[in-house]
Amino acid sequence: MNDGLGQYSSVQELFSEVVDDWVSSEKTSREKKGIPTSKVRLKTELGRAMGLGNGSDSDDGALKGLYRYASGETPLSLAKTVAVCIFTKDTRLLEWGAFRAGLIATPRTVVDNGDLTGEDVFLSLIEAQKETASLFALLSSAYQEKPSRELMRDIENLHQRAILAIERGRILMLSFMDKMLKSAGGIAKGRPGK
């Protein structure tokens, strides 16, 4: 997921891109739902989510605060970075920080196992196999192609998706096994049928 993070010379450059990407995406999404909005209103909403502005009805404080972060006038703290990532669901700012520190940042697999069934586990394992097969197919075809940054990005993205699908399947399987053991009244010794 550190795809292209080296291209950003400053956190402000990436911050501006994250804000612009979120505003464009959110504006399109809301307009499709018939909710009128503007880029200024969305940027103000993001600024308020970051805790900017003085709490008055005026949008100026939140918007000005957002522009101060984008210009570099105000340093972007870790708390504000996390607020942006949570609100926009875009983790590139945190990934950039990890990249600059020489770390590898990978998304965490989150599983809601409230009504988990055996079928959920089975479907998740099938999805992991499909993602892995897609990765191998791309790797096989890439071997014959001229290397390019786009191809390398595609391989990295498919690799990451396969890893996450496998991790999700593992977590679902362990959760389901735990659920089965609890419903059976405890942990039995050995494997069933032995």
What is residue 1's predicted lDDT score, i.e. its pLDDT? 44
Six-digit token string for 188: 């039995």
Q: Is 125 strand, coil or helix?
A: helix
Within 10 Å of residue 133's Cβ, how many Cβ atoms? 11
Residue 169 corresponds to which amino acid? G
- Residue identified by tokens 């949008």 is 59
pLDDT at position 189 is 57
Look at residue 41 in the predicted model and tell me its pLDDT.
92
pLDDT one digit per residue (tens) for the chain, 194 residues = 445 667 788 899 999 999 999 999 999 999 999 999 999 999 999 998 998 876 665 668 888 989 999 999 999 999 999 999 989 988 889 888 888 888 766 666 666 656 777 888 888 888 889 989 988 888 888 888 887 888 888 888 888 888 888 888 888 888 888 888 888 776 655 555 54
Please report, for the chain, the start and end positions of each structural domain, with discontinuous segments joined by +. 5-100, 118-183
Q: How far apart are CA 117 and CA 134, in angstroms?
A: 26
Given this model, what pLDDT does residue 2 score? 46
pLDDT score of 37: 92
Residue 113: predicted pLDDT: 59
Q: CB under 8 Å to 29, separation ≥6 — which residues?
A: none
Asked whether 46 and 15 are in contact (CB, 8 A), the reply is no
